[in-house]
């Protein structure tokens, strides 16, 4: 996850962060086009891969519904989320829509490039208060990315860019080959090596019996513990 990569290997450089911004913005474009608000975009819900990031965990996502651009945060379960990454309107229990996810994207990009959220550290009430009323601390963000992050973190949802505009600002494209930081790429290589080792075992387990090539495959359950 992005959280593990930054915590273990340090903040991303500007080039990698722009690739992250483009990939996440593209994901949000697809999510919002489907009429869904993710509601919980944060570093632990972003997985890194050589061809771009992946957004996971739609456990508290909400569908805005036909003809609706927002959904009430009441009942979404925001109190179980991370105050440092949710939007002010979500924290206040108001109406949320795609701009809420864009705010979270700005917070995620801040974490990716500085190793901390835009509203610092502290207790949940302290973070929630700064989130709603305080300015974000963007001083350590690379200069080329800072104006975009600042727009994403606007308190007023109407002042934030859309996910499509973020994608345009991040060079309107997929993360280029080599966008992933070296340590994260090395960790992924180790994971892929392990998968390659067990792949023949899985293929053998699902093979049909030689004396019954037209029969039904055996039903089985395999559990993997990592």
- pLDDT of residue 56 exceeding 90, the answer is yes
Question: Is the Cβ–Cβ distance between 105 and 97 less than 8 Å?
Answer: no
Supply the pLDDT for residue 224.
41
| Greatest mean pLDDT range, 146-155, 171-180, 195-204 | 146-155
Q: What is the pLDDT of residues 75-125, one digit of tens each?
A: 444 444 578 899 999 888 888 899 999 999 999 999 999 999 999 988 888
Element (H, E) at 72: strand 71-72
Task: State the DSSP code for 33.
Answer: H
Q: Would you mind telling me the total number of residues written for the chain in this entry? A: 226
Q: How far apart are CA 89 and CA 76, in angstroms?
A: 12
Q: How far apart are CA 10 and CA 112, in angstroms?
A: 9
Question: Is the Cβ–Cβ distance between 40 and 76 less than 8 Å?
Answer: no
Active-site residue flag, 40: yes
Supply the pLDDT for residue 80.
46
Q: Supply the mean pLDDT for the chain.
A: 79
Average pLDDT rounded to a whole number, residues 175-193: 59
Q: How far apart are CA 198 and CA 196, in angstroms?
A: 6
Q: Which of 9, 40, 51, 57 is catalytic?
A: 40
Question: Is the Cβ–Cβ distance between 102 and 39 less than 8 Å?
Answer: no
């Amino acid at each position: 996850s992005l959280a593990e990569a930054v915590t273990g290997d340090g903040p991303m450089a500007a080039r990698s962060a722009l690739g992250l911004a483009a990939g996440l913005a593209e994901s949000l474009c697809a999510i919002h086009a489907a009429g869904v608000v993710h509601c919980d975009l944060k570093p632990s819900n972003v997985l890194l891969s050589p061809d771009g990031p992946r957004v996971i965990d739609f456990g508290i996502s909400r569908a805005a519904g036909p003809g609706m651009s927002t959904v009430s945060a009441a009942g979404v379960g925001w109190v179980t989320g991370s105050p440092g990454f949710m939007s002010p309107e979500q924290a206040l229990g108001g109406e949320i829509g795609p701009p809420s996810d864009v705010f979270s994207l700005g917070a995620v990009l801040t974490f990716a490039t500085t190793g901390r959220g835009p509203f610092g550290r502290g207790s949940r009430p302290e973070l929630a208060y700064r989130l709603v009323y305080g300015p974000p601390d963007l001083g350590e963000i690379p200069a080329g990315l800072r104006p975009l992050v600042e727009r994403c973190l606007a308190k007023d949802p109407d002042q934030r860019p859309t996910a499509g505009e973020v994608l345009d600002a991040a060079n309107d494209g997929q993360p280029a080959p080599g966008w992933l930081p070296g340590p994260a790429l090395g960790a992924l290589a180790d994971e892929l090596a392990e998968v390659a080792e067990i792949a023949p075992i899985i293929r053998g387990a699902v093979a049909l019996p030689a004396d019954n090539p037209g029969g039904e495959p055996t039903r089985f359950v395999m559990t993997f513990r990592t």
